[in-house]
Amino acid sequence: MKYDSNTTEIKILGYPLQHTLSPTIQQAAIDYYNLPILFHAVSLKEDELEAQINALRNLSCHGANVTIPYKEAVIPLLDDLDITASKIGAVNTILNQNQRLIGFNTDAYGFITSFSQENLSNPENKSALIIGAGGAARAAAFALIEIGIDLIVIANRNKKRAYNLINELNSTKTKNTKISYVKIQNDILDGNTQKHNLVINATPYGMMYSSLESITPLKSSSIDSNAVVFDMVYLPSKTPLLKEAEKAGAQTISGSAMLVNQGAKSFELWTGKKAPKETMHSALNSVLYSKDK
């Protein structure tokens, strides 16, 4: 694609962003349709967020993805939210709609779609451990409540942040899901975690190029062999947590599926075109293969 004065843009906003592969999958989808759009990353500090959000109102900008740590912080800077983002309290996609900025959450869709081949059709008597209490954890909890899971346990270092999330979930949930808390101490979970059918890492633990790259919040001895362990971190494709889960004999799901599924939904919001998921997966897998070597 040749870029010129007619080229428009879509951004991803966050910090840090050296790990992000969103530009890889989104540009692949854009190029599939030969659209004159450039998708690029903007790494920014908190005091730069408001200016960057306002810049999205430019007519040449379709919108943006939002990632760690701004999924909640962007909300007061937007003009409106769709119903899912409003319920979750986190935004990962912004659409510039005639210079009005609308916030969406495609993480919940991406998360639950990634489980589509798993046996979650009967969520009763199932228990999920969600590691983290930020925007991604909110999306996962919302999605699990919507399908009627019996119990969710939120694991986080910051007890106040965890209970803020729990209280919000309890105030908005329409199902009978029970929600509780377990503390993370020195990056390791306290208490018995083997009872959970699902384990979801919604933190940067294990993320390549970060200070947490070598950390897993759970050892194999704390993971049930019948559990499904989902790590939202997609780089590396086999994180320390997923390695521990494999040792335990558990089923594993990497974050790459969620990245493509939520990204596909975002692409459709920005462009109005059906996302070419196979093309996006192929572009992502090529990069993951080279980085995993």
pLDDT value at 292 more than 80: no
Q: What backbone torsions phi and psi does residue 87 show, to the nearest 5 degrees? A: -70, -40
pLDDT tens column, 265-276: 999 999 999 999
Sheet holding 8-14, edge to edge: 37-43, 8-14, 61-66, 93-97, 100-104, 80-81
Q: Is 71 a catalytic residue?
A: yes
pLDDT band at 75 (very low <50, low <70, confident <90, very high): very high
User: What is the DSSP pairing of strand 198-201 with strand 127-131?
Assistant: parallel
Determine the pLDDT at residue 290.
81
Of the chain, the percentage scoring pLDDT greater than 70 comes to 94
pLDDT tens column, 185-217: 877 775 567 789 899 999 999 998 888 999 999
Distance CA 18, CA 279 (A): 22
Distance CA 88, CA 199 (A): 20
Q: Domain boundaries in the chain?
A: 8-105+257-292, 109-254
Distance CA 237, CA 107 (A): 18
Determine the pLDDT at residue 276.
99
pLDDT value at 19 more than 90: no
The pTM of the full predicted model, rounded to 2 decimals, is 0.91
Distance CA 141, CA 178 (A): 11
Average pLDDT on 27-40 reads: 98
Residue 164: is it exposed, middle or buried by C-beta count within 10 angstroms (0-12/13-18/19+)? Answer: middle
Determine the pLDDT at residue 79.
99
Write out the CATH class of domain 8-105+257-292: alpha beta
pLDDT band at 124 (very low <50, low <70, confident <90, very high): low
Distance CA 200, CA 254 (A): 10
Write out the CATH class of domain 109-254: alpha beta
Secondary structure of residue 155 in the 3-state scheme: strand
Sheet holding 127-131, edge to edge: 188-189, 178-185, 151-156, 127-131, 198-201, 228-231, 251-253
Determine the pLDDT at residue 289.
78
Average pLDDT on 27-38 reads: 98
pLDDT value at 121 more than 60: no
Contact predicate 152/177, CB 8 Å: yes
Mean per-residue pLDDT over the chain, rounded: 92
Determine the pLDDT at residue 18.
85
**Fold match between domain 8-105+257-292 and domain 109-254:** yes
> Per mean pLDDT, which of 105-119, 217-231, 268-282 is the most reliable?
268-282
Catalytic option among 2, 11, 45, 71? 71
